[in-house]
Structure 1
Amino acid sequence: MTKALPPEGIVGEQSWLTVRKTAERDTAVYVPFLVAFGVLGLVMSVLIVGNVVASAVGTGTRRIGVLKALGFTPAQVVRAYVGQALIPAAVGTALGVLVGHLLAVPVMAEAEEVYGASSLAVAPGVDLAVVAGVLGLVAATAWASAWRAGRLRTVDALAVGRASAAGRGRWAARRAGRLPLPRPVALGLARPFARPGRALAMGTAILFGAVAVTFTAGMGASLGEVMRARAHDAADVVVPAPPPDFGPRGPVPGKRPAVDPAAVATAVGAAAGTGKHYSASTVRAAVSGLSGTVDVIAFTGDASWGGYTMVAGRWFAGPGEAVVPTAFLAATGTRIGDTVTLNGLAEPVPVRIVGEVLDPRKEGKQVFTDASHLASAHPDLTETSHHIAVEPGTGVTGYVEALNRDLAPLGVTARAGGLESGGDMVDTLNALSAILTLLLVAVAALGVLNGVLLDTRERVREIGVHKALGMTPRGTVAMVITSVVVTGLVAGVLGVPLGVAVHGRVVPAMGDSVELRFPDSVIAVYGAAELLLPALGGLLIAVLGALLPAGWAARARTAAALRTE
C-alpha cells in the first residue's frame, strides 16, 4: 500500500485482528441478552401451545365419547385429535416462517452492504428446525391430552362432557361467599379452584410476562449506571482540553499556542461560586503486557467525587498509587496490590494498583494516577481538562458565563457538565428490550385470553342461570375479570424474584463478554417502585386478557345461554 500510494497518502494503519476484536466485542454484549429473551419466548410459546391444544381436546371430551360410541378405538380417537390439532398448527407454522423470512430481508440486506457479501438468507436448516419443533410440540401435547380422554370409558366420556368434576371448587365458593364482597366478585375469586389446571397454565404465562417486565426494568437501570460510570461526568461545569491541530499524519504538536493548565486552574479557583474542582491531563505511555500505548490520566486535585465507579479496592489517595479498569488487569495479569511501570516517558514511573474502576472505554488501556507522581518524567500536560462542582445555590448558567469571561484570554471555554448520550449500543438494547417485552406481554395476555375464553364458553349455561337470577351485565364482567385476579397477583408476585434472578445472571454475563466486571451499583438496581410495578403488571396482564371474554359473556342473552348444552 505504501508503494502504491503517493507520499503522505497513508495517514495511519491498524491490524485487521484489532478490527475483528472490536467487532466481536460490540456484538458479544448482545448474546446473553438475546439468549435470555429467546429462552423466555420459547418457554412461553410452549406453555401457550400446550394450553391451547390441551384445552381444545379437553372441551371435546363429550365428542370423544360420541366417537367411541360409534365404534372408534382409543388409538383412532387419539390419531383423529392429533391430526385435528396439526392442521391449524401447520398453517400457523407456515405463516410464521414466511413472516420471519420477510422480517429478515432488511437485516440481511444491511449485512450484505456492510460486509460486501451477496445472497445472504436464512439457512434451510433453521426452517426445518422451526417447522419440526413446532409441529412436534403440538403433536406431543395433543397426543398426551387425547390419550387421557381416549382411555375414558364411553359412558364416562359422554357423562363428563364439558362440565367440571363434581364438587371441585365448592369449598372455595363457600368460603368466598362468606366474605363481605359482592356476589359476582366472590364467584369470580372462587373460580380458579374449580379449574386448577387451567388456572396454573394461565398463571405460568403471566409469571413469565412478569419476569420479562422485571428483567427489562432492571436492564434499563443497569445500562444507565454503566453509562454514568462511562461518562465520568459528575461535574457541574467542564473546561474541555483544547483540540489539537491535525495534519496528514495526525495531531501536529506546537502548531496551536499551548494553553497553560495552571493559569486555567487559577482562574477556576478564583471564580465566584467555585466549589470542588480538579484537572485531568492525558499522556501516553507503554506498559509491559499491553500492545500499543496506554492513556495515563493524571489528576491534579481530588477527583474521587468526579463520577468514577469503583469495582474493587479504592480510589488512589496520593502519589505512587493508581487505579485501572478491569480489562487492564486481565490483559497484564496483574491484580490490586501489584506494581506496574509506565514506560515511554522521560524515565520509567512505577505505580502501585490500589483499585479497579469501571470504565469500558479504550479497551481498558488506561491508568488513573496523581499528576505529581509523574513530575520527574516531565510529561506533556497540554491535553488538560478541568472539572468543577459549583457551590450550593449557584446557578450553572450564570457561573459558566462569568467564568468564560475570565477564560477568554487563555484560549479555552467552559460548558455545563452532564452525561453524554449512551451511544448506539445502549439505544439498541433499550429498544430491543421494550419490543421483546411487549411481545412477551402480548403472548402472556393471549394465554390468559385463551384460558378465560374456554372457561367462559364452558360456563355459558351457568352464566345464563346467574343472569336469570338477576346478575347484571356489569356483574357478569366483574365475575369474569375477578376470576383471574388471584392468578394474576400470585403470578406477578412470583415473577418478580425470578426476573431479578435472570437480571442477576444476564447482566454480569454481558459484562464478561466485553471484559467488564460490574460493581453492586450496576447489579442491585431494584428499588421498591421497580419491584412493585412488575408485580402489579401480572394483574394488568390478567385483566387485559380477560376483558374480551368478559364482554362476550356480558352480551350473551339469558335465554340463549340457558339453552346451551
Structure 2
Amino acid sequence: MLYRFTDAGTAAQIAAGGKAVTESLPPGSTVGEQSWLTVKKTAERDTALYVPFLIAFGVLGLVMSVLIVGNVVASAVGTGTRRIGVLKAVGFTPAQVVRAYVGQALIPAAVGTALGVLAGHLLAVPVLAETEEVYGASSLAIAPWVDLAVIAGVLCLVAATAWASAWRAGRLRTVDALAVGRTASAGRGRWAARLAGRLPLPQPVALGLARPFARPARALAMGTAILFGSVAVTFTVGMGASLGQVMEARAHDAADIVVPAPPPDFGPRGSGPEKQPRADPVAVAAAVEAAAGTGKHYSAAKVRATVSGLTGTVNVIAFTGDASWGGYTMVSGRWIDRPGEAAVPTPFLAATGTRIGDTATLNGLAEPVTVRIVGEVLDPRNDGLQVFTDASTLTAARPDLTEASHHIAVTSGTGVTGYADALNRDLAPLGVTARAGGLDTGSDMVVTLNALSAILTTMLVAVAALGVLNGVLLDTRERVREIGVHKALGMTPRQTVAMVLTSVVVTGLVAGALGVPLGVALHGWVLPAMGDSVGLRLPGSVIAVYHGAEVLPLALGGLLIATLGAFLPAGWAARTRTATALRTE
C-alpha cells in the first residue's frame, strides 16, 4: 500500500505518519515500511557520483570557451590593424574605429550564438528524454535563464574583447598601423633573439625559440589554452587509472581461478526423480587442494544478518582460509587474521556510528555473534553494508555455508587454462565448474565515466589546438614580410616549417609542465569528492596513481598540442612565395 501524508518532508514526519497508519491497521498486519526519503537518497547517491566529475570538466570547458572566443575575436580585430590605419588616414577617430569593429564583431557573434543555443537544445533533447524515462519525470527542459545567460555572456565577452583590441589598434599612429606586417617589429624580444643566436642551434630553430618573447601577450594566451588542455589530459589519465583500481577493489579478482557458488535454486535437474545433490564445499575444497598446481586458496560464503541501528539485512561474507591476497583494498586498519574479527566498508561504519576497534553484533542467525572491527575495506557493493569475517567466527550460529565460491591462485609456471581443465574433471561429479578470472570485472558506471572523460578531453584538446592555430596564424600573417626576407636569403620551405613550429616549443613545454601538477591537483580534489558523494573513503593507493614514467609523457603533451595547432600555419608559411611575402604598398 502506498500512503501520502500531509507533511512528509523529514524523517520524523514520515515516522509519525507511519505510526499513525500502523495503529489504524489490525495488529500484525504490517510487515515493514519504506520512506520515500530513502528512495530519494538512493537515487541521489547514484547520480551524485557524477557531479564532481562534471563540475571539473564543465569549469575547464567554460574557461577554454572564454579563452578561445576572446582569442579569436582579438585575432580577427588584429588582422584588420592595417585597415584601421587606412580608416584613420581618411579621418576616423579612435572612438569611431572602436565602434565600427565592435559592431563588426557582434554581427557574426550573434549568429554564432544563436546557432550554438539552437544546437545545444537539439543535443539536449535526447538526453532529457532519456532522463524523463529513467526517473519517471515529465516536461524536463532547459531553463530560459540558461539561454539568456549564454547569449548575454558570449556577446558581452565578444564586445569586451573587440573593444580592447580595436582600442589598442586605434591608438596606434596611422603610419604604424599601415606598416603592420610590412616592417620588422621593433623593441620586444631582441634580447631573446640575441641569446638564441648564440646557442649551437640551426638559425631557423633559434629564430623560432625567440619568437614568444617578441609577443608575450599572444604567447600567454596560447600557453593558457595549452595549459588547460594539458590539465584535461592529465586529469583523464588519472581518472582512468583510479577507476580501474576501484573496480579491482570492487571485483576482488586477484584469483587466477574461481569456482562460483551454485545458484540458490541449484538442485533438481531434468524431469526424472533423480536430483543432483548440492555441492559439498568441503569436497570442493579437497579437490582444489589435491589439484596439481594449486597455490593459495580460500572460499567465501554469503549469509544474511541484521545489525542494530541498521534497517534491513547486511551481507556477511564468511571466509575459509586466508583471503588477504584476494584483492580486498584496505582504507585503514588491517585485514582479519583470527576468529572474532571483521572488516567492513566505510558506509557500514557511517550507518552504525562505529569505528575501528568497536564491536558489532550480528543478529538473525541461530544466536547473536559479536565481532570486533579491525579494518575498513573499500567495497561499494550492496551500498557498502557488508561484514567480512572468518567462517569460524560464525560456528556457534550454525549458518548455511554450502553456497560458497572458491578462489584459487595457481603456482608459478602453471598454465591457468590447463589447470582449469584438469580441475573441472575432478569437479564434474560435484556439480560445479571452475573458470579463469574473477567474479566481476566490469561496471557500467566506469565505462560511462571513462567514455565521458575521453570525449570531453578530446574536445578540450581540439579547442586548445585551435587556439594555438589561431594565434600562430595571426603571428605568421604579421611576420609575412620578415618571412619573405628569410626566404629571399635562402631559407627553405622545410626550414620555414621548423621556424614556425619551434616558435611554440617554449610555450608548449612551459604550459605542459605547469598543466601536469594542476591536473594532478584537480584529480586529487575530484576523486575524494566522488567517493564522498557515495559514502566511500578512498585509500591513498587509489588517488596516488601518477608515476614517474607517466609524468614525463604527460608534460610533453603540451608540446604535442602546440605542435598540432601550429602545423597548418607552418605549412602556409612554407608555401608562400617569396615575391608575395615581400610585396608592399
TM-score (norm 2): 0.89
1:493-519 CA distance string (max 9 Å, x none):
111111111111011111111111111
1:217·1:530 contact (CA, 8 Å) conserved in 2? no
Aligned ranges 1:100-499 → 2 under 5 Å:
100-152=120-172, 166-245=186-265, 257-418=277-438, 420-499=440-519
- Secondary structure in 2 aligned to 1:478? helix
1:124 Cα deviation after fit: 2.0
* Aligned twin of 2:529: 509
* Aligned twin of 1:36: 56
- Secondary structure in 1 aligned to 2:191? helix
- Secondary structure in 2 aligned to 1:286? strand
- Percent identical among aligned pairs is 86
- Secondary structure in 1 aligned to 2:264? coil
Of residues 517-526 and 380-389 in structure 1, the stretch that sits farther from structure 2 once superposed is 380-389
1:77 Cα deviation after fit: 2.6
1:15 Cα deviation after fit: 6.2
1:178 Cα deviation after fit: 1.9
* Cα distance between partner residues in 2 of 1:160 and 1:332: 73
Amino acid corresponding to residue 499 of structure 1 in structure 2: G
* Cα distance between partner residues in 2 of 1:483 and 1:385: 62
1:150 Cα deviation after fit: 3.9
* Aligned twin of 2:43: 23
1:398 Cα deviation after fit: 1.7
- Secondary structure in 1 aligned to 2:307? coil
Describe the shift of the 1:409–1:383 C-alpha distance in structure 2 as closer, same or farther (beyond 3 A): same
Of residues 308-317 and 65-74 in structure 1, the stretch that sits farther from structure 2 once superposed is 65-74
1:163·1:458 contact (CA, 8 Å) conserved in 2? no
- Secondary structure in 1 aligned to 2:111? helix
1:157 Cα deviation after fit: 5.1
1:69 Cα deviation after fit: 4.6
1:18-40 CA distance string (max 9 Å, x none):
44333222211111111101111
1:141 Cα deviation after fit: 1.8
1:226·1:522 contact (CA, 8 Å) conserved in 2? yes
Q: Given the alignment, which residue of 517, 542, 553 partners 1:533? A: 553
1:94-114 CA distance string (max 9 Å, x none):
121122122122212323433
| Count of equivalent residues | 549
Unaligned runs of 5+ in 1: 3-11, 248-254
- Secondary structure in 1 aligned to 2:309? coil
* Cα distance between partner residues in 2 of 1:309 and 1:514: 17
1:422-458 CA distance string (max 9 Å, x none):
2211111111111100100000000000000000100
Of residues 165-174 and 455-464 in structure 1, the stretch that sits farther from structure 2 once superposed is 165-174
1:402 Cα deviation after fit: 1.7
* Cα distance between partner residues in 2 of 1:419 and 1:435: 30
1:61·1:161 contact (CA, 8 Å) conserved in 2? no
* Aligned twin of 1:77: 97
- Secondary structure in 2 aligned to 1:526? coil
* Aligned twin of 2:25: none
1:344 Cα deviation after fit: 0.9
- Secondary structure in 2 aligned to 1:53? helix
- Secondary structure in 1 aligned to 2:501? helix
Of residues 120-129 and 81-90 in structure 1, the stretch that sits farther from structure 2 once superposed is 120-129
Describe the shift of the 1:51–1:209 C-alpha distance in structure 2 as closer, same or farther (beyond 3 A): same
1:370 Cα deviation after fit: 1.1
1:29-53 CA distance string (max 9 Å, x none):
1111111011111111111122222
* Cα distance between partner residues in 1 of 2:336 and 2:352: 20
Of residues 90-99 and 512-521 in structure 1, the stretch that sits farther from structure 2 once superposed is 90-99
Amino acid corresponding to residue 46 of structure 1 in structure 2: V
* Aligned twin of 1:5: none
1:126 Cα deviation after fit: 1.5
1:59·1:161 contact (CA, 8 Å) conserved in 2? no
1:359 Cα deviation after fit: 0.2
Describe the shift of the 1:241–1:200 C-alpha distance in structure 2 as closer, same or farther (beyond 3 A): same
1:534 Cα deviation after fit: 1.8
* Cα distance between partner residues in 1 of 2:439 and 2:110: 51
1:294-313 CA distance string (max 9 Å, x none):
11111111110000000000
Unaligned runs of 5+ in 2: 3-31, 268-274
Please tell me the root mean square deviation across aligned C-alpha atoms, in Å.
Answer: 2.3
* Cα distance between partner residues in 2 of 1:453 and 1:531: 30
1:473 Cα deviation after fit: 1.1
1:327·1:365 contact (CA, 8 Å) conserved in 2? yes
Amino acid corresponding to residue 204 of structure 2 in structure 1: P
1:59·1:162 contact (CA, 8 Å) conserved in 2? no
* Aligned twin of 1:9: none
Q: Given the alignment, which residue of 20, 26, 48 partners 2:68? A: 48
* Cα distance between partner residues in 2 of 1:415 and 1:257: 21
1:159 Cα deviation after fit: 6.6
Describe the shift of the 1:199–1:206 C-alpha distance in structure 2 as closer, same or farther (beyond 3 A): same
Describe the shift of the 1:435–1:419 C-alpha distance in structure 2 as closer, same or farther (beyond 3 A): farther
- Secondary structure in 1 aligned to 2:412? coil
1:462-489 CA distance string (max 9 Å, x none):
1111111111111111111111111111
Of residues 18-27 and 403-412 in structure 1, the stretch that sits farther from structure 2 once superposed is 18-27
Of residues 85-94 and 349-358 in structure 1, the stretch that sits farther from structure 2 once superposed is 85-94
1:460·1:564 contact (CA, 8 Å) conserved in 2? no
* Cα distance between partner residues in 2 of 1:13 and 1:333: 23
1:236·1:388 contact (CA, 8 Å) conserved in 2? yes
Describe the shift of the 1:174–1:243 C-alpha distance in structure 2 as closer, same or farther (beyond 3 A): same
Of residues 306-315 and 134-143 in structure 1, the stretch that sits farther from structure 2 once superposed is 134-143
